[in-house]
Amino acid sequence: MLTIAVSKGRIYEEALPFLEQAGIKPIDDPDTSRKLILQTTRDDVRLVIIRATDVPTFVEYGAADMGIAGKDVLLEHGGESLYEPLDLNIATCRLMTAAQVSAPEIKGRIRVATKYVKTAKSYFAERGIQADIIKLYGSMELAPLVGLADCIVDLVDTGNTLKANGLEPRELIMTISSRLVVNKAAMKMKHEAIQSLLDQFEKTLDQRR
């Protein structure tokens, strides 16, 4: 039995074509079912539906053999303990800094609100900028508006949420997409089954290019 960890929402929806190409289709709809473990049309594969930020943890500790997670989540988790064989090039967006429209560039030490603490620290340190990182779990756009932070680091898709709150994107930190990750022990113990799926996913990627 192979267990694949995936989160509800955009990543799941965009990953479905890859899964279906390999004959993996959930029997229950994760949007209407309360089940967290979904059996699929393949007897040897099941899906676990969890929070996006938990996917690499489940895979690292072997609760799932494979997982699909955004690069932003993997960077925060620290991906050294996982294989990352494929960039699925789905659920793409940009990790950017953002500040109030027309706000002047801050000279000296700055305050940054983000849930991407590790990535933000690394980004500003590499540029020699002293930054106090304030961890928030949501409503990031509020931070500059109420004086909590000078800027934020967050994912940007259309930019409409920023615009609606009087913010604008500034510096691109990196382009984000979803990656397939594999537990290192599972790659050895279940190599044939996992490699077969990887080959199928690669074929799907080639057809999309």
- Does residue 87 share a domain with residue 12? yes
pLDDT at residue 161, rounded to an integer: 93
* Pair (6, 60) in one structural domain: yes
Q: How confident is the model at residue 78 (pLDDT cuts 50, 70, 90)?
A: confident
pLDDT at 77: 93
Residue pair 61/49 in contact (Cβ under 8 Å)? The answer is no
CA 178/CA 130 separation, integer angstroms: 30
Same domain, 13 and 47: yes
Number of domains in the chain: 2
Question: Are residue 77 and residue 148 in the same domain, yes or no?
Answer: no
Looking at the structure, do residues 65 and 132 belong to the same domain, yes or no?
no
User: Which residue from 150, 167, 89, 154 is spatially nearest to 119, judged by alpha carbons?
Assistant: 154
Same domain for 143 and 117: yes
- CA-wise closest residue to 121 among 153, 167, 147: 153
Q: Average per-residue pLDDT in the chain?
A: 93
End-to-end CA distance of the chain: 31
Residues 11 and 51 in one domain: yes
Once rounded to an integer, what is the mean pLDDT over residues 153-166? 94
Range list of β-strands (E), 73-150: 82-87, 93-100, 110-114, 131-135
Q: What is the pLDDT of residue 21?
A: 85
User: What is the CATH number for 152?
Assistant: 3.40.190.10
Q: How confident is the model at residue 191 (pLDDT cuts 50, 70, 90)?
A: very high
Length in residues, the chain: 209
Q: Are residues 164 and 188 in the same domain?
A: no
Inform me whether the pLDDT recorded for 151 exceeds 80.
yes
CB of 151 closer than 8 Å to CB of 98 = yes
If asked whether residues 113 and 78 sit together in one domain, one would say: no
Write phi, then psi, for 74 (nearest 5 degrees).
-65, -40
Residues 141 and 38 placed together within one structural domain of the fold: no
Pairing status of strand 131-135 against strand 167-176: unpaired
Q: Which domain, by its residues, includes 57?
A: 2-91+177-208
